[in-house]
Structure 1
């Protein structure tokens, strides 16, 4: 899930841009076989986690480009009978949500995204999810997540009740990095990568 970038001129913004460029360059060089193995491993870890196993509603996303793949995960979540919400990018960069009804109901949208074509549930729908899975480029040990720069997921995460399981999907070498932070940034509580699921400590 890619979101529009918002330029920043301060030191943190410049450091974020440099880290994004580095991560994206590495991602583009990953071979197809590795990408498939990453997607499979992440799906297995998440589906086995207590948080996902007891969840009735999962907010997720459709991966695009070099992002760690979510197709296997979405298929398994839907097959298990869980209610899966997917984001719809609004013109102002915020996220609306709609129920995932299968790949046949995904439509191309702006910036190469795939979005559900069903009823819009409103930006606040994410607050009702038991699990919120988000894209990213890196995460720090305290849960600070590096996104694409548009702030879409920071807005969404700000609506999620404290205590909700919020997890970013990454490659192993994108975990535990020193992520620059700005006032609007929202942390996540966990990260999943091929190595496994790791709980983070926002504010710790």
Structure 2
């Protein structure tokens, strides 16, 4: 890879998206199974009988609904985002893959009772979708800004975990003042990996 400072976020997004698209289906399935196992361990250690905020992986994102089922099997209650107009995310509880339906942007969302953005305060663990994360905890999202607007309402002690492929933990990403740093990365090969940067719940 080139030095991160030579690329802006859009260039990073294009490169990571292209690499994800080239991953073979059997590799993607194996990584999804590994992430489910790692997520179950996180829930068992940090959120037994507590709330975990997560998301439904789509397209080439690492993971699957198996990750959500693993969280529930470990005893956690799972919040999933409900996407509306640009702004903080609403939430609803995940009760199984059969409860999901197509929502805004054709994303899978839970059909249960809708909760306000303040519901994220319930979660002691937050699994955050990412294209990449650097070793300082700087996260690269898709650019829509939903999580940038949502994470400020998280509990100060919430553990923020970026879910990425192993090669997507990189040395340095571009950072902006509004970026909220992650405390950990969850990867298929490495499991839960502590990041160096300051983050809540450290």
Q: TM-score, normalised by structure 1?
A: 0.87
Q: Which residue of 1 aligns with 2:39?
A: 46
Q: Which residue of 2 aligns with 1:201?
A: 196
1:86-105 per-position Cα deviation (integer Å, ceiling 9, x unaligned)? 00011124200001122222
Pick aligned residue for 1:64 from 58, 65, 83: 58
Q: Give the 4+ runs in structure 1 shifted more than 6 A.
A: none
Are 2:19 and 1:21 equivalent residues in the alignment? no
Any gaps of 5 or more consecutive residues in structure 2? none
1:87-106 alignment to 2 at 5 Å? 87-106=81-100
1:100-139 alignment to 2 at 5 Å? 100-139=94-133
Q: TM-score, normalised by structure 2?
A: 0.88
Any gaps of 5 or more consecutive residues in structure 1? 1-11
Instruction: Report the alpha carbon displacement of residue 51 of structure 1 after superposing the two structures with TM.
Output: 4.0
| Number of equivalences | 192
Kept after mapping to 2: 8 A contact 1:46/1:52: no
In structure 2, the CA distance between the partners of 1:79 and 1:47, relative to structure 1 (3 Å rule), is closer
Kept after mapping to 1: 8 A contact 2:80/2:93: yes
Q: Which of the pair has the greater relative contact order for Cα pairs under 8 Å at 6+ separation? A: 1
Are 2:83 and 1:83 equivalent residues in the alignment? no
What CA distance in whole angstroms lies between the structure 2 residues aligned with 1:70 and 1:58? 16
Instruction: Report the alpha carbon displacement of residue 55 of structure 1 after superposing the two structures with TM.
Output: 5.5
Kept after mapping to 2: 8 A contact 1:47/1:53: no
Pick aligned residue for 1:172 from 160, 166, 169: 166
